[in-house]
């Protein structure tokens, strides 16, 4: 940076003068900065609106246009302590019967307490507990298939045995305080039952070695995974399948959750010999009503946000604050000032207006079903006040103070003619779906899934930022020019003063000698 002479000779406050001159020049820079700030705020405002509109599209519109969304069934069990049920839309309406012959269970093995004075830990070697473990192996099978074979050496420990059980896909632990093994299958059902066998080429009695661990061989009796042969005081819970009779047809499952004919049945207990659980399947009118109400609520929230943006008050005379202006204001004053600008950024915006028109116009249509015309108004879904600008109310909605006391025509229609309601909504919402898809197509100005010109805004921001960078370089050059000019003036004044002093000295000298 060059040395700047700041009024040394002239006595002028050069810094202040140049600062004032630059403030005039900086007006253009401030205008560009304001454009950037306002466009960034506009971008943020659009992102918020786009998120709400897209949520309406994905959470409600995409769903309500499909007839299957209205096929919601309700299942009621006569004994939910034994059988719980839920229904998909495919299950036939009417009465279904269920008897539970058995409940699915996992296989559990609880070892006897290890005898003797030794305190067995995970690091205890098996060979130290019984020499029969030497040169033998433990075979662990699940569902009739050998999963792991643990070859035992002099170094094999209790920890190695537990790891082998876990590797075979079982839950396994050794409780050092209780000195017992706890082993179980991870899933219920006969297909997950397991066996533990000892093998040894040299010692046919090697199977007895497991007794040193408070265990014994775990073997299927006659090959039946639901019946176990054990000894040595080992406690067992045998694996079992869930077996039900659904409408007199036997259904077997390794899990207590069974899906059949559109029903999801959760088996909780065995029924008595003469007991039949009755399951009543009906159309879930309340669930459909709540679904439609949720759509109207989301629609109203989006429309309200769009209306507020489109009809916002003007912010004439309001510009983003400079640093100096912000320093002179409180946080509350700054927030109110900036919100005034932000709220007005989409006032009378063409894209916002188009979206409002799409929402309101599409849902104002009607359909003909069985010779009758249906619209939202005929179902008691209407705009009540002109000032609300298209906001919809549902007659009889207890949460709506304006229409809570009216007859609930929507619920009545769902009870008496649900197909007519479905036909109306799938048509109107289907049209809305198509219109919204068209609005958020990707173009050179906007990205896909965006309801506004996000690409255009980004490109404009980039142009403004480039313009700001050029302006800052230009202002720096102007400032340097001012300093050069004032420096040149100081040099000239300095030279003039020097010449004046020389002349005065010369004159004074001549006068003194005459």
User: What are the boundaries of each domain within the chain?
Assistant: 24-68+287-311+347-454, 73-104+241-283, 108-237
pLDDT category at 8 given cuts 50, 70, 90 is low
> Which tokens belong to 460?
């404009």
The pLDDT of residue 59 is 96
Q: Quote the CA–CA distance of 368 and 421 in Å, as a whole number.
A: 11
Q: Quote the CA–CA distance of 381 and 410 in Å, as a whole number.
A: 8
Q: Quote the CA–CA distance of 19 and 7 in Å, as a whole number.
A: 14
Residue 514 pLDDT greater than 50, yes or no: no
Q: Quote the CA–CA distance of 135 and 217 in Å, as a whole number.
A: 17
Q: Say which residues have a Cβ less than 8 Å from residue 151's Cβ, sequence separation at least 6.
A: 137
**Bigger pLDDT: 499 vs 458:** 458
% the chain with pLDDT above 70: 95
Residue 89 pLDDT greater than 90, yes or no: no
∠ CA 307-311-314, nearest 5°, is: 150
Q: Are 483 and 4 in contact (CB under 8 A)?
A: yes
Residue 15 pLDDT greater than 80, yes or no: no
Closest CA to 152 of 180, 123, 131: 131
Judged on CB neighbours under 10 Å (0-12, 13-18, 19+), 305 is middle
The pLDDT of residue 50 is 97
pLDDT category at 475 given cuts 50, 70, 90 is confident
Helix and strand tally (H, E) in the chain? 12, 21
Average pLDDT over residues 85-97: 93
Specify the length of the chain in residues: 514
30-44 pLDDT tens trace = 899 999 999 999 999
The pLDDT of residue 504 is 74
3-class DSSP assignment, residue 368: strand
Query: In three state form, how does the secondary structure of 405-452 look?
Result: CCCCHHHHHHHHCHHHHHHHHHHHHHHHHHHHHHHCCCCCCCCCCCCC
Q: Quote the CA–CA distance of 244 and 257 in Å, as a whole number.
A: 11
Which residues are bridge partners to 375 per DSSP? 366
Give phi and psi for 299, each to the nearest 5: -60, -45
- 251: Cα separation from own chain's centroid: 38
> Which tokens belong to 232?
């040595």
Residue 470 pLDDT greater than 90, yes or no: no
**Bigger pLDDT: 461 vs 13:** 461
Residue 511 pLDDT greater than 50, yes or no: no
256-267 pLDDT tens trace = 999 999 999 999
Average pLDDT over residues 407-436: 96
The pLDDT of residue 26 is 76
The pLDDT of residue 446 is 94
Q: Quote the CA–CA distance of 283 and 73 in Å, as a whole number.
A: 4
The pLDDT of residue 21 is 67
Residue 23 pLDDT greater than 80, yes or no: no
The pLDDT of residue 508 is 67
Q: Say which residues have a Cβ less than 8 Å from residue 22's Cβ, sequence separation at least 6.
A: 475, 478, 479, 482
Closest CA to 17 of 490, 496, 503, 507: 490
The pLDDT of residue 22 is 64
pLDDT category at 513 given cuts 50, 70, 90 is very low
The pLDDT of residue 512 is 46
Torsion of CA 285, 289, 290, 294, to 10 degrees: 150
Closest CA to 246 of 264, 226, 232: 264
Judged on CB neighbours under 10 Å (0-12, 13-18, 19+), 123 is exposed
The predicted model scores a pTM of: 0.75
Distance in Å from the first CA to the final CA of the chain: 53
Average pLDDT over residues 169-188: 97
Residue 166 pLDDT greater than 50, yes or no: yes
- 10: Cα separation from own chain's centroid: 69
Give phi and psi for 9, each to the nearest 5: -90, -45
3-class DSSP assignment, residue 352: helix
Q: Which helix (H) or strand (E) holds 94?
A: strand 94-102
pLDDT category at 236 given cuts 50, 70, 90 is very high
pLDDT category at 116 given cuts 50, 70, 90 is confident
Q: What is the mean pLDDT of the chain?
A: 91
The pLDDT of residue 6 is 59
**Bigger pLDDT: 509 vs 84:** 84
Q: Are 279 and 96 in contact (CB under 8 A)?
A: yes
The pLDDT of residue 42 is 96
Residue 56 pLDDT greater than 50, yes or no: yes
Q: Say which residues have a Cβ less than 8 Å from residue 144's Cβ, sequence separation at least 6.
A: 220, 225
Q: Quote the CA–CA distance of 236 and 107 in Å, as a whole number.
A: 7
> Which tokens belong to 493?
């004044």
Residue 484 pLDDT greater than 90, yes or no: no
Average pLDDT over residues 408-430: 96
The pLDDT of residue 4 is 52
Q: Are 422 and 68 in contact (CB under 8 A)?
A: no
Q: Which residue has the tokens 């912010």?
A: 315
> Which tokens belong to 140?
């662990």
pLDDT category at 477 given cuts 50, 70, 90 is confident
Q: Which residue has the tokens 């007519």?
A: 420
Residue 218 pLDDT greater than 90, yes or no: yes
- 31: Cα separation from own chain's centroid: 40
The pLDDT of residue 489 is 77
Q: How far is CA 225 from CA 18, 58, 194, 220, 228, in A?
A: 97, 49, 8, 5, 7
Q: Quote the CA–CA distance of 218 and 235 in Å, as a whole number.
A: 11
318-341 pLDDT tens trace = 999 988 899 999 999 999 999 999
Q: How far is CA 4 from CA 80, 477, 489, 493, in A?
A: 92, 15, 12, 15
pLDDT category at 371 given cuts 50, 70, 90 is very high
The pLDDT of residue 7 is 55
Q: Which long-range contacts (CB under 8 A, 24 or more apart) does 318-326 make?
A: 318/344, 319/34, 320/33, 320/34, 320/37, 320/38, 322/30
């Amino acid at each position: 940076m060059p040395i700047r002479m700041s009024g040394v000779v002239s006595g002028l406050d050069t810094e202040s003068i140049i600062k004032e001159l630059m403030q005039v020049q900086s007006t253009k820079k401030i205008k560009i900065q304001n454009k950037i700030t306002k466009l960034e705020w506009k971008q943020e405002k659009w992102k918020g609106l786009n998120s709400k509109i897209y949520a309406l599209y994905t959470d409600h519109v995409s769903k309500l246009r499909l007839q299957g969304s209205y096929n919601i069934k309700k299942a009621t069990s006569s004994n939910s302590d034994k059988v719980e049920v839920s229904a998909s839309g495919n299950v036939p309406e009417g009465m279904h019967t269920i008897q539970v012959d058995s409940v699915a269970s996992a296989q559990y093995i609880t070892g006897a307490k290890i005898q003797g004075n030794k305190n067995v830990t995970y690091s205890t070697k098996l060979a130290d507990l019984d020499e029969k473990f030497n040169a033998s192996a433990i075979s662990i099978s699940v569902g009739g298939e050998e999963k792991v074979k643990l070859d035992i050496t002099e170094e094999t420990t209790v920890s190695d045995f537990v790891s082998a059980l876990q590797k075979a896909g079982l839950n396994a632990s050794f409780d050092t305080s209780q000195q017992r093994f706890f082993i179980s299958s991870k899933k219920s059902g006969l297909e997950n039952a397991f066996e533990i066998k000892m093998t040894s080429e040299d010692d046919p009695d090697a199977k007895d070695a497991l007794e040193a661990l408070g265990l014994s061989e775990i073997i299927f009796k006659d090959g039946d995974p639901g019946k176990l042969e054990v000894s040595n005081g080992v406690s067992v819970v045998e694996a079992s399948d869930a077996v039900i009779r659904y409408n007199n047809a036997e259904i077997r499952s390794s899990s207590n959750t069974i899906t059949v004919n559109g029903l999801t049945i959760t088996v909780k207990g065995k029924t008595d010999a003469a007991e039949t659980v009755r399951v009543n399947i009906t159309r879930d009118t309340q669930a459909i009503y709540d679904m439609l109400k949720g759509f109207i609520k989301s629609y109203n929230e989006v429309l309200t946000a769009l209306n507020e943006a489109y009809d916002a008050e003007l912010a004439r005379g309001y510009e983003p604050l400079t640093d100096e202006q912000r320093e002179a204001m409180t946080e509350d004053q700054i927030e109110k000032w900036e919100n005034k600008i932000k709220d007005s950024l989409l006032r009378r915006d063409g894209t916002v207006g188009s979206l409002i028109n799409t929402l309101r116009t599409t849902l104002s249509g009607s359909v003909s079903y069985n010779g009758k015309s249906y619209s939202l108004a005929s179902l008691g879904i209407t705009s009540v006040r002109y000032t609300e600008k298209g906001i919809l109310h549902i007659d009889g909605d207890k949460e709506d103070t304006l229409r809570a006391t009216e007859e609930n025509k929507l619920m009545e229609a769902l009870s008496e003619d649900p197909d007519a309601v479905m036909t109306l909504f799938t048509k109107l919402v289907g049209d809305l779906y198509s219109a919204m898809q068209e609005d958020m197509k990707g173009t050179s100005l906007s990205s896909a899934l965006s309801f506004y010109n996000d690409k255009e805004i980004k490109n404009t921001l980039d142009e403004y930022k480039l313009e700001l960078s050029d302006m800052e370089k230009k202002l720096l050059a102007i400032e340097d020019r001012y300093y050069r000019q004032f420096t040149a003036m100081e040099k000239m004044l300095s030279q003039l003063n020097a010449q004046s002093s020389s002349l005065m000295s010369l004159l004074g000298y001549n006068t003194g000698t005459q």
